[in-house]
Amino acid sequence: MRPLPHTPSDAPHPLDLSLYLVTDAALCERAGRSVLHTVQQAVEGGVRVVQIREKHASGRAFLALVEAVARALPAHVALLVNDRIDVFLAARAAGARVAGVHIGQSEIPAALARQIIGPEAIVGLSANAPVTLDEAQALGAAGVVDYVGIGPLHPTATKPDADAGKGLPALTALRARATLPAVAIGGVTAADVPALRAAGFDGAAVVSAICAAPDACAAAQTLRAAWDAAIALRTPHVKAIAP
């Protein structure tokens, strides 16, 4: 697994997928917080990956948000940009510590994204069916993709174009098929975390569970505690980590 961006004087940090926040500006606003404030609270509560997702923002506004979040994050927390390769490149050019991108199935091909952003950045890919998961596996073996997002576990209003919730048995079957590191996503709550970790997932990705919570730090702490307490329940899963 590729390490996170670091300065020559710092030791590299490994990518920790265990608690993964995907931002939603509308949910944050309804909860009375900015995206930046939500991220800061969530990281204080134990989030280890932050993916900035802005489907309706201009490129300039998206870039400004990514730069602001990058300045606020400690070095051990990975910052990813959802879909927008241009925003990732611009943020990197401006000196922001941005670890990589996460790409959906309807966006530019992951192999092309890897060519554009280079060999050191992290590339995540949504893979929500056996065929897309198998394609992701091949991309992982080629060094293109570092991890996959599998879902949705439950129906979710934050992504109206997503499939209906697949449920735990279907996600467990997809996870068993995967050799890449994988996070589960789609309406995930703290109550789901023990079963997801037992199924071999490397992390829980959440949107509403933190962005819509009255207290983002407390929500993250609850998810963090659930993940950490589930260690003993986990079924060992042998993975071929992308080089």
Question: pLDDT tens for residues 181-235?
Answer: 999 999 999 999 999 999 999 999 999 999 999 999 999 999 999 999 986 444 4
Q: Is 126 a catalytic residue?
A: yes
Instruction: Say whether pLDDT at 236 is over 50.
Output: no
pLDDT, average across residues 235-239: 39
Selecting among 159, 166, 197, 224, the annotated active-site residue is 159
4 phi and psi angles, rounded to 5 deg: -75, 160
Q: Is residue 86 part of a domain?
A: yes
Instruction: Say whether pLDDT at 237 is over 80.
Output: no
Q: Is residue 14 part of a domain?
A: no
C-alpha pair distances (Å), 181 with each of 128, 174, 176, 201: 14, 12, 11, 7
Annotated binding-site ranges: 51-55, 82-83, 107, 126, 156-159, 187, 207-208
Selecting among 126, 166, 175, 224, the annotated active-site residue is 126
Annotated binding-site ranges for Mg(2+): 83, 107
Selecting among 53, 97, 166, 175, the annotated active-site residue is 53
pLDDT, average across residues 132-143: 96
Q: Is residue 167 part of a domain?
A: yes
Q: Is residue 10 part of a domain?
A: no
Task: Give tens-digit pLDDT for 145-164.
Answer: 999 999 999 998 776 666 78
Question: Angle 110-117/85-93 helices, nearest 10 degrees?
Answer: 10
DSSP string, 115-180: HHH-SSSEEEEE--SHHHHHHHHHHHHTTS-SEEEE--SS--TT-TTSPPP--HHHHHHHHHH--S
Question: For the CA atoms of 109, 114, 116, 117, what is the dihedral angle to 10 degrees?
Answer: 130
Q: Is residue 241 part of a domain?
A: no
Domain holding 175, by residue range, is: 19-233
Q: Are 140 and 179 in contact (CB under 8 A)?
A: yes
Q: Is 53 a catalytic residue?
A: yes
Distance in angstroms (rounded) separating the CA atoms of residues 202 and 73: 21
Q: What is the pLDDT of residue 2?
A: 75
Q: Is residue 227 part of a domain?
A: yes
Q: What is the pLDDT of residue 30?
A: 98
Q: Is residue 164 part of a domain?
A: yes
Q: Is residue 118 part of a domain?
A: yes
Query: Can you give the CATH number for the domain in which 208 is found?
Result: 3.20.20.70
Q: What is the pLDDT of residue 157?
A: 75
Regarding predicted confidence, which is higher, 80 or 56? 80
The total domain count for the chain is: 1
